[in-house]
Structure 1
Amino acid sequence: MDRSHRIDDITSEPVQQLLTEYPTIVAAKLHVLDEARYNTIPTALAARDENSLTKQEVATLVDWKLSHGTFRPTLKKLVDQNSDDDIRSITTAAFESFAQDPHDNIKSSLTTLTQLKGIGPATASLLLSVFDPERAPFFSDELFRWSMYEDKKANGWDRKIKYTPKEYLELFEKIQQVQKRLGAAKAVDLEKVAYVLGRRATGKSVGKDTKIDNETASKSTHSNLKRKPEHEAEVRSEQKKQGAKKAKVSVTKGKTPNEGTRISARVKNRKTR
Structure 2
Amino acid sequence: MYVISILGNSVILFMIKTDPSLHEPMYIFLSMLGATDLGLLIATIPTILGIFLFNSREISFDACFAQLFFIHLFQCIESSVLLLMAFDRFIAIREPLRYASILTLPRIAKIGLVCMLRGVAVILPLPLLLKRFRYCRANILSHSYCLHVDVMKMACSDIRVNIIYGLFTKLLTMGLDSLLIFLSYIMILRIVLSIASNVECLRALNTCVSHLCAVLIFYTPDIFLSVIYRFGKNSFPLLQSLLGYICLLIPPLLNPIVYSVKSKHLRARIIRVFVK
Tell whether the structures are fold-level matches, with TM greater than 0.5. Answer: no
Higher-Rg member (1/2): 1
After TM superposition, the score normalised by the length of structure 2 is: 0.32
* TM-score normalised over the length of structure 1: 0.32
